[in-house]
Structure 1
Amino acid sequence: MLLHWPQNRSSLFLPIAALVLVVAGTMRSTPAVIAADRPNFVWIMSEDNSKHYLRHFDPDGAPAPNIEALAEHGITFDRAFSCAPVCSVARTTLITACYAPRIGTQFHRRSKMAAMPEGLKMFPAYLHDAGYYTTNNSKEDYNAQKSPDPWNESSRKASWKKRPDKSMPFFHVVTSALSHEGRLHFPEKAMATPPQTDPASVKLQPYFPDTDTFRYTRASYHDRMTAIDQVVGQVVDELKNAGELENTFIFYFGDHGGVLPRSKGYVYEAGLHVPLVVRVPERWKDLVSRELGSRTNGFVEFVDFGPTVLNLAGVDVPSGVDGKAFLGRGIDVAEVDARNETFGYADRFDEKYDLVRSLRIGNIKYMRHFEPYYPDGLQNNYRYKMLAYQQWRQLHAEGKLNEVQSQFFRPKAVEALFDLENDPHETLNLANDPSAQATLKKMRARLDSRLKAMPDLSFIPEAVLYESAMENPTEFGQQNKERIAKLIDTANLALLPFDEAENQLRDAISSSDPWVRYWGFVAASSIGLNAKPLTSEVKKHLADEQPLVALRAIEFMALLSDEDVRPALYETIQRASNEPELLQILNTAAYLNDFFGDRLTLDVEKVKSSIKLSKDGEVKDRLDYFSSK
């Protein structure tokens, strides 16, 4: 089929080091010895909350005495980051200790499970091999195929208390949905009941309109933080009553940011910057060369969490992961405190496509929008179940928002640069500020280097990965590393003035490589009206042999001409050959339908009749939305 990507199956993996444990041969037979030599671990994850909703991290947040008590006997990490702003990608990053775009696990919801990198297991499996009792209560939501034996039990009944020998060390994960996005999907009539937090007392982010709905929503979320704090207190009490509290490292953190609008699903700080407190048990405080009750600004990312637990447990961290430990044996506190870089990624969220990468170094944040003409506010059905989202969009349509509040519904800049010290809510883009050009170029080059080094698989469409890569994504990436670098260079033509990029863009859109053509059209569309001289050449590709390349030509013509591209769009929908390909085409359909006025309003029945594949799952979500318009 046209989507097939030729492969050379020769192995290009970095070797994965074997797990080395001096006492491996006796661990299972002498659990009492293990218990004497190994601490326990409990992770408490609250879903969908950034650090901004807890007073311990932000003066505008809610009080949380149990979390604050953990911090008094532990360490607060003021710069902790999820690498992705959504559940499945963030959790896969945690469990694999690998950056998702490198290993093919970056799409939420996955169209196909990715195989783990060759020789590498999900990190709890190494604890399990070392004699730990490993339990997860209960959410997994991984985008990778589960490796053998990460969990003794993973269910709503899983508990460290069920280990067969009470002297066995344990690693236990508790996930609480009390703070999940769905808790804010209340009907309008619910607002007649006041939340515990006074809506008048909360401070709204500057990009929100100051309305009763937004105040009620934020106040309700402060109540959710109170509920999470009670969960933390319950877990601590259980450990204390069992005599295990001072044997157990407790990690409390958010599973990614959220959850008011413009957070979950977006690589702004509200989507990535999470709370993290690690309580240090008295018995094992010699493993942590820090004063209890202290705080650090050293950057830690989700790829680091697994290696940190392994290091504290005295288990070798396997090679082949991207993270590095920040606590435990051999850790240089000064080195951790000096860490100042974090990488973020956003790809598909349910039925909504976008491709954004972020890099933060210190208080400088760089965001690269590879499809900048898609507004942040592009429809995602689950997001828009929230009344605040609905009201925000309605107020925009009525012209009742100021410049900052309207940004969410407008095309994005190709690149954005934020000074977080002076602009913590990321509303003032400094990319065009003459005084910021040296910093911009430095951040741009650093991100470019990281994307190519991985390499970042998202520069190949998900539909191609679905067909050709998911049995071994990392091998596929290594085999196509130079080609992916070429695609990134093509996408980056959008960063040049048109007169400097024109010849390279013409070469790209006439390339024999369909994915160079694909990114050539995206770059030209990103440049905008100055790229109109390419119109006659682009129009020839409205029926490109690759449906997704034709789709990018359709976007260009919609943006830069008066062409009625709907017939070409219906034809492209008909040619879709797998679900991710269809879903990406329908993403553009939603964009054209919602952001081009009456000029490109779709005929829903034509869209439906053009689809030759299943109309289930995320495809159904798009069709339901079209039908509701």
Structure 2
Amino acid sequence: MTRFIPPVCFSTVAASFAVGLVLLAQLSATVDAADPPGRPNIVWIMSEDNSADYLRHFDPAGAPAPNIEALAAHGVTFDRAFSNAPVCSVARTTLITGCYAPRIGTQFHRRHVAMPMPEDLQMFPAYLRAAGYYTTNNSKEDYNAVKGSDVWSDSSRKASWRNRPDQSMPFFHVQTFADSHESRLHFGEAQMTEPTATDPADVKLQDYFPDTPLFRYTRARYHDRMMKIDELVGGVIDQLREDDQLENTFVFYFGDHGGVLPRSKGYLYESGLHVPLVVRVPDRFQSLAARELGSRTNGFVEFVDFGPTVLSLAGLEQPEGVDGKPFLGIDADPDKVDRRDETLGYADRFDEKYELVRSLRIGDFKYIRNFESFYPDGLQNNYRYKCLAYQQWRELHQQGKLTGAAKQFYEAKAPEALYDLAADPYEINNLWSNPEHATRLKMMRDQLDDRLKSLPDLSFVIEAVMVDEAINNPTVFGESHSGQITKYIDTVNLALLPSEQALPGIQAALEDADPWVRYWALVACSSLGEAAKPLTPAIEKFLVDVEPLVVIRAVEYLAVHSDIDTKPFLYRSLERATNEPELLRMLNTIVFLRDFHGYEVDPDKFQFLPVLLPIDPKGEVIRRLQYLKGEI
């Protein structure tokens, strides 16, 4: 499926690089003179799917966690730590590579194919291992990139620093606890009789939730899960103490992204990105933190920074080609870390649900660009809706019983959003149309725009093309097609202009020879909605476009904003799909049109799809088909 217009020229990746041990003398100076020189151990303790506000240490309404609080008392609390992505595989790939996922092609959850690492760059534990560290992971990986054979000394449920062949070896260990995973909230109605240690009457619900007994019980149950996480964290600390390694070891505790009540995991709100992070600093290596024990910082740190920080603590050079910067260790200046005030967020396909959203937070202001703003947040995702709270929220919407902020989850969004988090921590009051914030809105819009173009952001190539055209080297592919990606971004951003300015530009883009310019022009039309109706005759012509996904985008607009019968063209496009992501993208449109615009589809039309393409029998296309056929 070679459908991408060749670029004029190709650029190359930087020359190869190597990593070695440096500055051991500085490290040994941090050790008591009576002890031999050494290097610190580093342990990561990750809890799945929890944002910072579910812990009392970060929010008075959170759960008590004495073991995590004890870590903070002997270390540093990072009050503004962020995952770059609000979902497991993308977040964990960002952690392990130190790279922004849309730059290296690892931004889709779950992956259809594993993307190769950028040339001459390895997952960061490989550098530690080459330098003599014993590297272990217990046990979740969940990477969207191809893992090298030299990353872990052991990655299994039995992996532990205790298994290292030479007990004098320094170690890097990752421990993941799933007791806070969203699946822990997939309980049935019968289980609601089970008492919780946390009183549901005492919990504080987010302002965008309907205040129901079910939502209160769900939050209380999750507080109990966080208290369990705290017990498990204490168990790791006990092991380090038993091994006489606690004061040789930096211990990081953090969530692998936000979550997990509705409107968190999978979304670029603070509830999906803002994670708890405390780092316990060992007595022997306090100078590598250069901070007072028990201190807190508001300096921004994000997941791309975590790998470089570990390398800095270990005294290793930073590899070229990573996007992150250390926030502890020999390469980190605490004063400069404290002044960091920016973080980038990205959300793309989450299981079978497609959407393209980017965010930029600077200080207390958050800018979100909803490139497909016509998709409500509540668009179906099968796994997400196993949660009873999600189901109840949707039922209340369908019954017309939602009011205020609770309604927003099932409504179309604005193409862009600006939130003042100091005044509006739940991101409810969008300031994008407020003239008092026009200057800030434009500044943040332009800054995000520049960042996406400079990456360049491979999501604008779209996944269906990436799996055919970019699989061998997505990073080089992005660099060599950066001019085209810039054009795609500029095209879809026409939706941000007043309609009288936007429509001439969109009309010109619809006539472009590149099908993907036409594709993004049609997305801009759907974002403009009724304001794009003068272009209806032009849009109708694309119902017979040579590119099936261009047809689907035309259907998406016309089915909502015209009386044109689009179904024959939609069904024909399904038959023309040539890979699984392409078909999945089409099914996303069908679910959106059916669920939110009453677009009736014939389930019999889907019977042939699994035999036309090689489709994962347990994958995302099957999930969409099951939902459309009413099988779930």
- Is TM (by shorter chain) over 0.5? yes
Corresponding residue for residue 203 of structure 2 = 202
Corresponding residue for residue 606 of structure 1 = 605
Corresponding residue for residue 29 of structure 1 = none
What does the per-residue CA deviation read over 1:156-212, in whole Å, with 9 as the maximum and x for residues that have no partner?
A: 111110000000000000000000000000001100111111100101001100111
CA distance in structure 1 between the aligned counterparts of 2:620 and 2:383, rounded to whole angstroms: 11
Offset of 1:627 from its aligned partner?
1.8
Report if aligned partners of 2:5, 2:514 keep a CA contact under 8 Å in 1: no
AA at the equivalent of 1:17: F
What does the per-residue CA deviation read over 1:576-621, in whole Å, with 9 as the maximum and x for residues that have no partner?
A: 0000000000100110110112xx1211111233552245211110
CA distance in structure 1 between the aligned counterparts of 2:557 and 2:620, rounded to whole angstroms: 25
Report if aligned partners of 2:603, 2:629 keep a CA contact under 8 Å in 1: yes
Corresponding residue for residue 517 of structure 1 = 518
Matched residue pairs, number?
A: 619
Report if aligned partners of 1:95, 1:306 keep a CA contact under 8 Å in 2: yes
Offset of 1:19 from its aligned partner?
1.3
Corresponding residue for residue 466 of structure 1 = 467
Offset of 1:22 from its aligned partner?
5.2
**DSSP-derived class of the 1:534 partner:** helix
CA distance in structure 1 between the aligned counterparts of 2:456 and 2:10, rounded to whole angstroms: 17
Matches within 5 A, 1:146-295: 146-295=147-296
Residues 1:410 and 2:407 are matched in the alignment: no
Report if aligned partners of 1:594, 1:601 keep a CA contact under 8 Å in 2: no
Residues 1:144 and 2:145 are matched in the alignment: yes
AA at the equivalent of 1:605: D
Residue 627 of structure 1: which of 617, 623, 629 is its match?
629
Is the alpha carbon distance of 1:449 and 1:7 closer, same or farther for their aligned partners in structure 2, counting shifts above 3 Å? closer
What does the per-residue CA deviation read over 1:529-569, in whole Å, with 9 as the maximum and x for residues that have no partner?
A: 01101001110101211111111111110121122322211
**DSSP-derived class of the 1:602 partner:** coil
Corresponding residue for residue 12 of structure 2 = 12
**DSSP-derived class of the 2:542 partner:** coil
Is the alpha carbon distance of 1:34 and 1:607 closer, same or farther for their aligned partners in structure 2, counting shifts above 3 Å? farther
CA distance in structure 1 between the aligned counterparts of 2:184 and 2:249, rounded to whole angstroms: 31
Is the alpha carbon distance of 1:431 and 1:4 closer, same or farther for their aligned partners in structure 2, counting shifts above 3 Å? closer
CA distance in structure 2 between the aligned counterparts of 1:78 and 1:496, rounded to whole angstroms: 36
Structure 2 unaligned spans of 5+: 25-33
Offset of 1:2 from its aligned partner?
5.1
**DSSP-derived class of the 1:628 partner:** coil
Offset of 1:471 from its aligned partner?
1.1
Is the alpha carbon distance of 1:484 and 1:96 closer, same or farther for their aligned partners in structure 2, counting shifts above 3 Å? same
Is the alpha carbon distance of 1:165 and 1:35 closer, same or farther for their aligned partners in structure 2, counting shifts above 3 Å? farther
AA at the equivalent of 2:602: D
Offset of 1:3 from its aligned partner?
3.4
Offset of 1:143 from its aligned partner?
0.3
Q: Greater shift after overlay, 132-141 or 554-563?
A: 554-563
AA at the equivalent of 2:74: H
Report if aligned partners of 1:578, 1:613 keep a CA contact under 8 Å in 2: yes
Instruction: Supply the RMSD in Å over aligned alpha carbons.
Output: 1.6
AA at the equivalent of 1:261: P
CA distance in structure 1 between the aligned counterparts of 2:347 and 2:178, rounded to whole angstroms: 22
Matches within 5 A, 1:85-104: 85-104=86-105
Corresponding residue for residue 27 of structure 1 = none
AA at the equivalent of 2:491: T
Is the alpha carbon distance of 1:3 and 1:285 closer, same or farther for their aligned partners in structure 2, counting shifts above 3 Å? same
What does the per-residue CA deviation read over 1:261-315, in whole Å, with 9 as the maximum and x for residues that have no partner?
A: 0000000000000000000000111111100000000000000000001001001
What does the per-residue CA deviation read over 1:397-440, in whole Å, with 9 as the maximum and x for residues that have no partner?
A: 11111121010001110000000000000000000001010000
Is the alpha carbon distance of 1:407 and 1:269 closer, same or farther for their aligned partners in structure 2, counting shifts above 3 Å? same
**DSSP-derived class of the 1:21 partner:** coil
Offset of 1:57 from its aligned partner?
0.3
CA distance in structure 2 between the aligned counterparts of 1:150 and 1:36, rounded to whole angstroms: 25
CA distance in structure 2 between the aligned counterparts of 1:402 and 1:2, rounded to whole angstroms: 48
Report if aligned partners of 1:89, 1:105 keep a CA contact under 8 Å in 2: yes
Report if aligned partners of 2:22, 2:317 keep a CA contact under 8 Å in 1: no
Corresponding residue for residue 382 of structure 1 = 383
Report if aligned partners of 1:83, 1:345 keep a CA contact under 8 Å in 2: yes
CA distance in structure 1 between the aligned counterparts of 2:189 and 2:352, rounded to whole angstroms: 26
Offset of 1:6 from its aligned partner?
3.7
Residues 1:340 and 2:341 are matched in the alignment: yes
CA distance in structure 2 between the aligned counterparts of 1:22 and 1:436, rounded to whole angstroms: 48
Is the alpha carbon distance of 1:246 and 1:574 closer, same or farther for their aligned partners in structure 2, counting shifts above 3 Å? same
Offset of 1:376 from its aligned partner?
0.5
CA distance in structure 2 between the aligned counterparts of 1:22 and 1:567, rounded to whole angstroms: 65
**DSSP-derived class of the 1:554 partner:** helix
Report if aligned partners of 2:42, 2:249 keep a CA contact under 8 Å in 1: yes
Structure 1 unaligned spans of 5+: 25-32
Residues 1:528 and 2:520 are matched in the alignment: no
Corresponding residue for residue 29 of structure 2 = none
Corresponding residue for residue 554 of structure 2 = 553
CA distance in structure 1 between the aligned counterparts of 2:560 and 2:16, rounded to whole angstroms: 47
CA distance in structure 1 between the aligned counterparts of 2:23 and 2:78, rounded to whole angstroms: 33
Report if aligned partners of 2:22, 2:315 keep a CA contact under 8 Å in 1: no
Report if aligned partners of 1:35, 1:169 keep a CA contact under 8 Å in 2: no
**DSSP-derived class of the 1:37 partner:** coil
Report if aligned partners of 1:3, 1:467 keep a CA contact under 8 Å in 2: no
**DSSP-derived class of the 1:540 partner:** helix
Question: TM-score with structure 2 length normalisation?
Answer: 0.96
**DSSP-derived class of the 1:253 partner:** strand
Residues 1:305 and 2:299 are matched in the alignment: no
Report if aligned partners of 2:20, 2:131 keep a CA contact under 8 Å in 1: no
Offset of 1:502 from its aligned partner?
1.5
Report if aligned partners of 1:132, 1:170 keep a CA contact under 8 Å in 2: yes
Report if aligned partners of 2:512, 2:518 keep a CA contact under 8 Å in 1: yes
CA distance in structure 2 between the aligned counterparts of 1:446 and 1:15, rounded to whole angstroms: 29
CA distance in structure 1 between the aligned counterparts of 2:36 and 2:472, rounded to whole angstroms: 39
**DSSP-derived class of the 1:216 partner:** helix
Report if aligned partners of 2:199, 2:220 keep a CA contact under 8 Å in 1: yes
Offset of 1:140 from its aligned partner?
0.4
